Copies of this chain bind each other. A is one copy, B any other.
Amino acid sequence: MTRVACQQLTPAIGDLEANRALSLAAIEEAVDAGAEVIVLPELITSGYMFESTEEAAQVAIAPDHELLREWADVAARASVVVIGGFCERGDDGLVYNSAAVADAAGVRAVYRKLHLWDNEHAIFTPGGEAPPVIETSVGRIGVVICYDLEFPELTRSVALAGAQLLAVPTNWPLFPRPDGERPSEATIAMATGRINKMAVACADRLGLERGQDWTGGATIVDPDGWVAAESRAPGMVIADLDLQSALDKRLTDRADVFGDRRPELYGAVTR
């Protein structure tokens, strides 16, 4: 079993130093709880509700910035994997909504969000490369960010590339929902897990930020698509997941979620 933690946090917009301390403390807390994989929210180094690209650029960091190196230092010392969102300043000078994967080997991958949500188009440049699937000490981990999760062609392609766990740094804006229902995004995470026989760990955020409220939808889904842990409160959600079971794509002896695909027909629907 692999212990996976998602930290539901409230970053301080534009305050790199405060968010550095917040993220490091969250990683340490999860390490102390025995987590082997630790997922932090989208843009945890920066906050979200920027008014302009220029404002975001002031807190954007390169992938070799000391903040991410500190994440990797803890990851190395504790032998864990850390996935978290950050506001990236690219070599090209552009600003991206990105996520880093850090482990004992350092910052292993940086992923730039492909599907920008709503006003993010006014702030960030969209990524141009498919998500990473990283071989780690606990198995293969894929990474997408927030709205990316709502594109099943993308999450399927990450699963087909071998991901046993999909780590999802998110900032889910709060939308109304019927009484007793989970957030739509959590339902999508469950379906993504079940359809692909892949675990899904969503680290959401909280805290009113420049008038925007957030869902606080932290959710860990097991490879059968059931919720292993979830919380609407600040702090950590944690679960032990059988990531080995995500290597076996059979639902029954004769039903296989990958083997039963008919890709030659998926583009063929016309009317």
Contact = CB atoms under 8 A, between A and B. Distances in A.
Interface of A: 114-119, 121, 126, 128-135, 140, 142, 147, 150-154, 156-158, 160-162, 177-178, 181, 184, 187-188, 190-192, 194-195, 224-227, 252-255, 257, 260-263, 265-271
A267 B266 CA distance: 13
A156 B118 CA distance: 21
Nearest to A149: B195
A19 to B, nearest CB: 26
Nearest to A270: B161
Nearest to A250: B118
Given A187-B225, A190-B191, 10 more contacts: A128-B265, A130-B266, A147-B255, A151-B261, A157-B266, A157-B267, A157-B269, A161-B270, A178-B226, A188-B191
Contact of A253 (B118, B226, B252): B118
Number of copies: 2
B190 A187 contact: yes
A224 B131 CA distance: 27
Contact of A161 (B116, B119, B154, B271): B271
Contacts of A187: 187, 190-191, 194, 225
A48 to B, nearest CB: 15
A177 B190 CA distance: 13
Given A119-B254, A187-B225, A271 B153 contact: no
A178 B260 CA distance: 26
Contacts of A133: 269-271
Given A253-B118, A271-B134, A194 B184 contact: yes
A153 B152 contact: yes
Closest 8 CB pairs of A and B: A191-B191, A152-B152, A130-B268, A133-B271, A153-B266, A157-B269, A161-B269, A130-B269
A201 to B, nearest CB: 17
